[in-house]
Chains A and B, each alone.
Chain A
């Protein structure tokens, strides 16, 4: 290329031997420049993470693992901290008032409360 052309910084389609598709093939001149972009989730899907060596860190496995502390027990009805748990219905409750309520609940409702925290018994 002549030096004056390079200096003028004219937009020349450059060819890169290391690329499969050149940038001027992907986005031809004269067409709308609205490139489609992928979201991060799609990029990760396309990345084929499973083929990576498992002992090497990458985006997916540097995530902070779940906490080792026991999780807080929350009353299923009121949302307060629940020191007790009812062995018959498996619901957690905060105090005696709530206990009266849960003993009077029909079992269908109990199952729905349990389902809220993924503890319901599912029969298949």
Chain B
């Protein structure tokens, strides 16, 4: 094992060591999206769905296009069948994952796996048999030179601490990472770059469950979209938001016509002129932000949003009936994270979950943890998520503690950036398990190095 001399990691220069190292592949293997790139870079090279797809036009399962790709021949995802290697956040289908990774390494990253190291993220408390299968995949199928399995919460903490060296997170070296991802939501206390295992709490709700709930609601109320996962993902990302006062918003959502701030129309793809759905009137879809202003509620009249001149104007594109209206679905769907009981789940909401996670840590850590809550993961991208969480959290927290919620600039990539930072640190090689060690000692012994 090559031992590098240890010296402190400079906070400001992420890419200073990238040239000197042999290549490290940083792979944030999420249930929804794979984020992959080279260690030391600022952004991942490829962000693509972690699945294989079979559109209606094809007989075989195909690899999905990366997000934000500008290829003209984008797949038409209408009613596409999906196979995912990850179930509830844990890797269960190693075979499928190998196909996806092989495609990723060959076509997107263009690395030779036998001459590079791998930094892989894994959810907390991965079951031993899954860890074994992962090691088999990394060392026996791909022949990686060495492997480091990282905890995603610790990586987020590392990234946040490095972006603001004067901030509380880096000074106190502890934070509470709330990772609200595709498969589930974790509240994880991190102390000095290590996850405090006894404080981790999980809610079995993530972006996938929310999309499915939206699918059910829309299918029941207007048009059956049970097969259209990707379409409804798009609807959820564009139109859903977190309500700051659910009871009031439910009342508002019952109003007819233009008085209803939440009503908006989503146009379904017709397969001819547009293969992607879109929001009919994006201006109107943003009107809900005005509803936080309490003043107009008394009179019940909406000010300062001018009505469109005529009904014609709004119905420019309404040639067919391929569209549906959303009203209270827009805020009832993200509401599930805060009140899982509404779905019939016997679990506490996010705010209570955070309080429980913090209460299971040492009392000396409580004030710092409440003041350094970091939100990450794609499901925290709903507008007003942080405000709502703060409003729910404040009554539950003793009044002599400050509550401060930090949102990340790009919550989807937060974990990956932390991984990239770690991979470019000079100690990284020494923390890895090499292929030779794996072949000699096996999976279980090697895993002890990662304290998992």
Residues of A near B96 (CB, < 8 A) are: 37
B129 touches A47 (CB 8 A): yes
- A62–B204 alpha-carbon span in the complex (Å): 11
Contact with A along B261-273 (1 / 0, CB 8 A): 0000000000000
Q: Which of B35-56 contact A (CB under 8 A)?
A: none
Residues of B near A44 (CB, < 8 A) are: 127
A40 touches B140 (CB 8 A): no
A63-B347 contact in complex given A9-B143, A39-B87, A43-B127, C-beta closer than 8 Å: yes
- Is B442 part of the binding interface, using a Cβ–Cβ cutoff of 8 Å? yes
- Is A46 part of the binding interface, using a Cβ–Cβ cutoff of 8 Å? yes
B125 touches A14 (CB 8 A): no
Mostly, the A contact residues are loop
- Is A58 part of the binding interface, using a Cβ–Cβ cutoff of 8 Å? yes
Q: Which of A40, A57, A67 has a CB less than 8 Å from the CB of B352? A: A67
A40 touches B202 (CB 8 A): no
Contact with A along B80-121 (1 / 0, CB 8 A): 000000011010111110000000000000000010000000
- Is B136 part of the binding interface, using a Cβ–Cβ cutoff of 8 Å? yes
- A122–B203 alpha-carbon span in the complex (Å): 32
Contact with A along B415-426 (1 / 0, CB 8 A): 000000000000
- Is A109 part of the binding interface, using a Cβ–Cβ cutoff of 8 Å? no
A64 touches B201 (CB 8 A): yes
Q: How far is the CB of A33 from chain B (nearest CB, A)?
A: 7
Q: Which of A34-87 contact B (CB under 8 A)?
A: 34-35, 37-40, 43-44, 46-47, 56-59, 62-69, 71-72
Residues of A near B130 (CB, < 8 A) are: 43
- A14–B442 alpha-carbon span in the complex (Å): 13
State the interface size on chain B (CB cutoff 8 A): 40
Q: How far is the CB of A7 from chain B (nearest CB, A)?
A: 10
**Interface size for chain A: under 10, 10 to 19, 20 to 34, or 35 or more residues?**
20 to 34
A57-B95 contact in complex given A43-B127, A44-B127, A47-B127, C-beta closer than 8 Å: no
B114 touches A9 (CB 8 A): yes
Q: Which of B125, B353, B439, B441 has a CB less than 8 Å from the CB of A58? A: B125
7 pairs of A and B residues whose beta carbons are closest in the complex: A18-B442, A67-B348, A37-B93, A64-B353, A64-B347, A59-B125, A40-B87
Interface on A for B, CB 8 Å cutoff? 9, 14, 16, 18-19, 23, 33-35, 37-40, 43-44, 46-47, 56-59, 62-69, 71-72
Interface on B for A, CB 8 Å cutoff? 87-88, 90, 92-96, 114, 124-130, 136, 140, 143, 197-198, 200-204, 341, 346-349, 352-353, 356, 439, 441-445
Q: Can you report 18 A-B residue pairs in the complex whose CB atoms are below 8 A from each other?
A: A39-B87, A40-B87, A40-B92, A43-B92, A43-B127, A47-B127, A57-B125, A62-B124, A62-B200, A63-B202, A63-B347, A64-B202, A64-B347, A64-B352, A66-B346, A67-B341, A68-B352, A72-B341
